[in-house]
Structure 1
Amino acid sequence: MKKWKYLTMTAVMGSALMLGACGSDSAQNGNNAETKTPASSEQDTADKKLQGAVAGDGSSTVAPIIEAVVEEYAGTQPDVKVSVGVSGTGGGFEKFIAGETDFSNASRHVKDEEKAKLEQAGIAYTELPLAYDGISVVVNPENDWAKDLTVDQLKKIWIEDGTPKKWSDIDPSWPDEKIVYYSPGTDSGTYDYFDEVVLDGADLASSATLSEDDNMLVQGIAGDKNAIGFFGYAYYLENKDKLNIVKVNGIEPTNDTIETGEYAPLSRPLFVYVKNSAMKDNEAAYDFIKFTLEHGGDMANAVGYVSLPEEKYTEALKTLEGLK
């Protein structure tokens, strides 16, 4: 597999991945998902050449995994065109609700209001787990003071209180310099998750630069000594020569601490949501998602995320088979 290139436009052997901007541990089916008897055929679709088109959208956190999967899938099914936009988890669900996509990548669970809209649109769906991530808090390499932050300190840094904040407001021994903020955009599942577990629903610092493009966040933080930001673990690993990682409550995000949940509260699962009717009626879409679940763990590890235990992929494949 080729090394992941951040948010590139990829067209490989007939499959296209079109990347634009960014995005509880158990997999769940939508309440309106139909239960089907598992398909009895054991035919090996890997040997069957398919034609068709598959469309997805959603989280930029999940995007590196999907890009890797698309590149690998192109070698097995060169006549299937897979196009995946990256408008963030929320933006991806909007397109899913509108019936524009066969699957939607997400760095959080579907929200209640999104569930209601899906039901109104008559779209039955299923949530499938894909990998684990740890939201990584990062600072500029010249920042030699904010090496380990508590959740309370993160709250104090990030919650809007109507006054400009300086690093010295967090710790008097730190520089008397204004904090510069970089955050995923509000359509991002990463933003939603950080808002839930760190901000407790409070407003994020109003001076923050928000972007669905995590590459822009990386560039901003790398260019300002007083900057701080957060995004998916894979983006830190890809740019760790430009950034410093911050421990949270004394724990640094690593494959082990993310998988075990020790890196709390910023460890989280990643998902792909599939439209049940597409899995039944679009053979190419079913085959691509099946390939994703079969190879997603290896792809997740390759691009810097953490694969699920093998039994979770096995369970997800059985769930997918039941939709066919």
Structure 2
Amino acid sequence: MYKHNSPRFKMTVMAGVLAGALLAPVAHAGLVKVDGSSTVFPITEAVAEEFQKSVKSKTKVTVGISGTGGGFKKFCRGETDISDASRPILKKEMEDCKKAGIEYIELPVAFDALTVIINPKNTWAGELTVAELKKMYEPSAQGKVNNWNQIRAGFPNAPLKLAGAGADSGTFDYFTEAVVGKAKSSRGDYMATEDDNVTIQFVSRDPNAIGYLGLAYYVENKDKVKAVGIKVDDKSPTVLPSLETVNKGTYQPLSRPIFIYINRKSADNPEVAAFVEYYMKHGAKLSKEVGYVDLPAKAYTMALDNFKRRKTGTAFGGEAEVGVSVEELLQREGKH
């Protein structure tokens, strides 16, 4: 399994970053250039590794990390063949690509379930509502909401120790959009980090700590932290993050689809086409191996068909969206 916190993973991250920074633009024979989201990176890197082992050609796949936004900037300048994205393409990025004459094929590759975690010694917050999470993280809470008993009557009079993603993270964007109601809207007095392993350490060492991160990091650290069940509101059932609840669409609003975007012209390159087809055929298995939620088999079949037909455009409207289910994703991708 490809561990996010393993030396091997860290080495491949660095190799991907250096390769993305040093290699020349698109259209080199035998080279497939990918850049973008650090969230999608583990899947694409795993696929690239297996693809390069499986083919006898000299195709080289380089996977860089410049973030979803940074990846789209390069992609819309024609510098990459494929862009990893932890959210759909936004209007400004769509406009930039259009100006540059870049058409793209959008393919969903997996789902990520953002997971709220607490210390195993925390006996009171095994389930929380979205409104309670908002009460913790919204901007107006800064300097004012500092104790657990301010979140719910009956919670202990104990310090509330918050952790979470850094402001440059796509996870930060999605969590604040889903919980607070506006992307990047958050209190600033919490332990912010781009490294989810730091969040794990912070929460595992303090019984009063709480944080959020991608499902894969929770799955790897179940012995150190525990997941919080999420309720949309007081009347809703409590739902824990899992493969089943994400696929059923019941883990809301903290599950999100993640994507790759392929330059339409690059798709006619035999090496790029072979890599994307390999990705769609093996993406489910490798998504699970790196700790993400694989899509139903029909999603990968449909995505492969969309790619072979060179179906361009996006199933989204260029705006940030929260709560898109697997079923809805399939319906959208089937129509656009």
TM bucket normalised to smaller: 0.7 to 0.9
Q: Is the 8 A contact 2:4 2:290 kept in 1?
A: no
Q: SS at the partner of 1:256?
A: helix
Would you say 1:4 and 2:3 are equivalent positions? yes
TM-score by length of 2: 0.78
Q: Give the structure 2 partner of residue 308 of structure 1.
A: 295
1:106 equivalent to 2:85? Answer yes
Q: 2:188 — aligned with what?
A: 206
Is the aligned partner of 1:58 residue 2:65?
Answer: no
Q: Deviations over 1:231-266 (max 9, x none)?
A: 221121112222211110111011110111111111
What is the match of residue 130 of structure 1?
Answer: 109
- 1:88 touches 1:212 (CA, 8 Å); kept in 2? no
Contact 1:138 1:230 (8 Å CA) reproduced = yes
**Maintained 8 Å contact 1:179/1:226:** yes
- Note the alpha carbon deviations across 1:157-194, whole angstroms, 9 max, x for none: 11011434222210243343433332223343322222
2:163 aligned counterpart, secondary structure:
strand
Residues 35-60 of structure 1: CA deviation (Å, up to 9, x unaligned): xxxxxxxxxxxxxxx96222212223
Q: What does 1:238-277 correspond to in 2, within 5 Å?
A: 238-249=220-231, 250-277=238-265
Q: Which moved more, 1:252-261 or 1:86-95?
A: 86-95
Q: Which amino acid aligns with 1:126?
A: I
Alignment equivalent of 1:90, drawn from 58, 62, 69: 69
Q: CA 1:102/1:223 → structure 2, altered by over 3 Å: closer, same or farther? A: farther
**Aligned partner (choices 143, 146, 156) of residue 163 of structure 1:** 143
TM-score by length of 1: 0.80
Residue number in structure 2 paired with 1:278 = 266
Other-structure match for 2:55 = 77
Matches within 5 A, 1:185-204: 185-201=166-182, 203-204=185-186
Count of residues paired in the alignment: 289
Secondary structure of 2:117's partner?
strand
How far residue 214 of structure 1 moved from its aligned partner, in angstroms, is 2.5
Helix, strand or coil for the counterpart of 1:64?
helix
- Secondary structure of 1:18's counterpart equals helix
Q: Structure 1 runs of 4+ off > 6 angstroms? A: none
Q: How far apart are the structure 1 equivalents of 2:95 and 2:119? A: 42
Distance in 1 between residues matched to 2:159 and 2:37, nearest whole Å? 31
In the alignment, structure 1 residue 173 sits paired with structure 2 residue 154? yes
Q: How far apart are 1:5 and its partner, in Å?
A: 4.1
CA contact (8 A) 2:47 2:279 kept: yes
Task: Name structure 1 gaps, 5 residues minimum.
Answer: 21-49
- Residues 294, 228 of structure 1: CA spacing in aligned structure 2 closer, same or farther, 3 A cutoff? same
* Alignment equivalent of 2:100, drawn from 98, 109, 121: 121
**Bigger helix share:** 2
Give yes or no for contact 1:181–1:209 (8 Å, CA) kept in 2: yes
Looking at structure 1, the residues matched to 121 and 62 of structure 2 have their Cα atoms a distance apart, in angstroms, of 39
Structure 1 residue 226, shift from structure 2 partner: 2.9
Partner Cα distance (1:194, 1:323) in 2: 33
Identity rate of aligned residues, in percent? 42
CA distance in 2, matches of 1:224, 1:81: 45
Q: Unmatched 5+ residue regions in structure 2? A: 19-27, 232-237, 312-336
- Tell me: CA distance 1:85–1:239, structure 2 relative to 1, closer, same or farther (3 Å): farther
User: What letter matches 2:215 in structure 1?
Assistant: Y
Give the whole-Å Cα distance in 2 for the aligned partners of 1:180 and 1:95: 38
TM superposition shift of 1:290: 1.4
Deviation string, structure 1 residues 204-224 (Cα, Å, up to 9, x no partner): 121133333323333333333
Give the match's secondary structure for 1:136: strand
Partners in 2 of 1:230 and 1:194 — Cα distance?
A: 8
Change (3 A) 1:220 1:57: farther
Structure 1 equivalent of residue 320 of structure 2 = none
Larger deviation, residues 107-116 vs 242-251: 107-116
2:16 aligned residue: 18
After superposing the two structures, state which structure 1 stretch, 206-215 or 131-140, moved more. 206-215
Q: Is the 8 A contact 2:163 2:191 kept in 1?
A: yes
> Partners in 1 of 2:195 and 2:65 — Cα distance?
9
Q: What is aligned with 1:38? A: none
Change in Cα spacing, 1:9 to 1:99, as seen in structure 2 (3 Å) is farther
Write the distance in 2 (CA, Å) between the matches of 1:181 and 1:118: 38
